[in-house]
Structures are given as structure tokens and as C-alpha cells.
Structure 1
Amino acid sequence: MTTSEPGLEDGSVSEFLFDFDAFEQMDRAGLFQRAMGRVQLIEGRLLEMAPTSSDHGDTSGEALFALKSAAVRAGVTADFRFLVHATLKIGEHSAPEPDLTVVRAFTGRTYAEAADAVLVVEVSISTRDGDLKLKAPLYARAGIPEFWLIEPEQRRVTVFRAPQPNGTWASTTVHDDDDAVSPLFAPQISLSLSELF
């Protein structure tokens, strides 16, 4: 791989990138047990994310409860699975763990894959830069139709839609305070932001 990272241009340093199989083997061997946070595979790189705070976990739980409850009321839960902090396999070189992922129901596999995902949610308390610079482009390139960035401290949800192959989103909408948001996978659902934080 050619890289433009500072200090790597002259070829005196090599960068080794991992694939999903190597990542999974390292995890099974217990290599990540000492990590303070969750280790995620992002574009071949092993990244240790900050440990999940209580506030972060609470907001993730609130979002899960709100989405799943609304899906039950709408009668669409049989078609989807609601996953919290579960590995999402994106190609051969990425395996992030979104705070919440809604996927089409699947069987016969251990991990959900990008093609299964209809919505990815990241709760951003102290992780906004990483979520926007690393994960938003990754999810867009993977073709995941919708990404929500929940910022409970700002009482804001940014909804990204229409992913582009270059890692951008054609549609970005910011929802504040008393707004409501509806997911593409079930547009009949309307969630007030107060249900998410």
C-alpha cells in the first residue's frame, strides 16, 4: 500500500495493514484483553477507542430502546435486528463497532456485514472528531444508507443520507431540541429527540 502519512514517504518505514481474518484471530487469541477501550479495525489499522463512559452507554441504550420500541409499534421488528456495540464487517479491512446498528435480519454468519446495515448510529460525547473523520467516510464508502451522529451534550442529532463512493454524504440534516427524526428503513417511525437522550 502506498501511503501519504508524514514520515512514511521515503520508504524507510513500513506500515503493516491487517485484514478481518487476522483481526479476528488476534481477538480470539486474547491480544486485545489488556486494551482499556474497544479495539476496532479501521481500514486495516488497529485502533483502540476510548472506553465507553456511563453517559455514552446510557445514551446508546436510550437510542436502542427508542428505535426498537418504535419498530415494534410499527410492526417491522421481524425484518430487522438491533445491535449494540457489535462488530460490523466492512469489506476485508474494516470492523468497527458502532454504538447501534440496525441490520436486515440475517442467519448463518457470526457478524453483520455492511450490506446488511440500514442504519448506523454513533453516540458522540468525546468522540466527535473520530466519528466524523474516520467513521462517517467509512460508512459512506460502504454504502450504508443512513448514519446518525447523536450528540447528547448539544441535544443534537445529525442525519447523514445518500452515501457517496468517495466517502461523503449527499444529504446532511441537523436536528435540534424538539425536532423529530425518522429512519429510512421505517419512515413511518417518528422519534422525538427527547427519546434519544
Structure 2
Amino acid sequence: MARRYRFGIEEFERLFQGVTGVELLEGEVYQMSPIGPRHAEVVARLVTRFAQALGDQARVWPQNPVRLPPSSEPQPDIALLKPKDYWESLPTPEDILLLVEVADASLEYDREVKLPIYAQAGIPEVWLLDLQGNRLHVFRAPKEGLYTEHRVLLPGEEAEPLHFPGVRVAWP
């Protein structure tokens, strides 16, 4: 009889150390889509804009893992974190102010798989940038594994991070 094996965070980190392009979601290891030039450019622009707009108010954490116990370690495209050093451990939900996922070919995966995990972990805000539809989806107010607020921004509209009122960020 075949059985599916589920990984814990510590086991995943030990077994997949040095392996790129994988993330742990609810105990299962997923291979991430390759990053194309358009996706890379958008992430680079947003990192620059966040860093310029926020300075030392937040740590901009691009394409690095975050720990969402008990069984997820995703790699969002950008995380805005509380400003502190993360030498000893990866950021956890208490450290995360905003997550950004840039979706070129991964919109369904980001929306159907990752977004509910973020909501369950209590991440206060997630931006899902749909490159093909040229829309920015802003999700806020997680409750019982769902985001109860969803706003769609159109080209030319700036986004304002929940934790930084008055800071306006242009998105590509």
C-alpha cells in the first residue's frame, strides 16, 4: 500500500538544505515555477520601491523563505518584515507585515494553494500581482483561513500597505 509522506519544517530544512526552487506547503514539497525575466524585473522594481518608501521601517525580504508552523515554509516573492535581524531563525507569522506574490504563470497556484495557507497563518495582508491580467489583488483581514477583504487595483492606482498608512507604492 502506497502512503504519502508529509514533512515537518525541521525535517524539510534538513533534507532539502541547498536545494533551490522548492517550498514546503502543508507538509508537501512543491517545485516552484522558474522565474522568467518579466517576473524578475517586477520583483526587482517592487523591492526598490519598498526599500525607498519604507527605509528602516521594515525589512524587505525578497524571494526568501518564511516559517509558517506547523508544516509550511513558502518562499514569497517579497515579504515586508518587522525591522530586526533574522540571523538565528527565519521570520514567522508574528514578524510578517505583508507578503507579495508575483504571478506570471502561477496565479491559480498562488490563489488556490498559497493564499489559504497565508490566511490560516494570520498574515495580515497579501498582495497578489497578476501580471497577465495586469491587476493587483490586495487581501486583508484573515479570519478562519480566509481573507475577508479583497480589493482589486487597476493600472495607475497605487497601493498602500496596511501597516504603513500614507505610504503609496506604485506597482508595475
Please tell me the TM-score bracket, short chain as reference. over 0.9
Query: C-alpha deviations, 1:75-129, integer Å up to 9, x for none?
Result: xx2x421100111000031000000000112335231112110100000110000
SS in 2 for 1:180: coil
- Matched with 1:39 is 22
* Residue ranges of structure 2 left out of the alignment (5+ in a row): none
SS in 2 for 1:41: strand
TM-score (structure 1 length as normaliser): 0.82
Alignment of 1:97-112 (within 5 A): 97-107=75-85, 109-112=88-91
Corresponding position: 1:52 with 2:35: yes
- Matched with 1:25 is 14
- Matched with 1:81 is 59
Corresponding position: 1:143 with 2:132: no
Corresponding position: 1:15 with 2:23: no
Percent identity (aligned): 26
Corresponding position: 1:69 with 2:59: no
- Matched with 2:164 is 186
Counterpart among 146, 163, 169 of residue 168 in structure 1? 146
Superposed displacement of residue 16, structure 1? 1.1
Distance 1:19 1:116 in 2: 20
Distance 2:134 2:49 in 1: 16
* Residue ranges of structure 1 left out of the alignment (5+ in a row): 1-11
Superposed displacement of residue 139, structure 1? 0.5
Cα root mean square deviation, aligned = 1.4
Deviating 4+ runs (over 6 angstroms): none
The amino acid of 2:33's aligned partner reads A
The amino acid of 1:21's aligned partner reads E
Superposed displacement of residue 153, structure 1? 3.0
Q: How many matched pairs?
A: 171
Distance 1:145 1:109 in 2: 24
Query: C-alpha deviations, 1:39-81, integer Å up to 9, x for none?
Result: 0000000110111111111111111111121113xxxx2x421
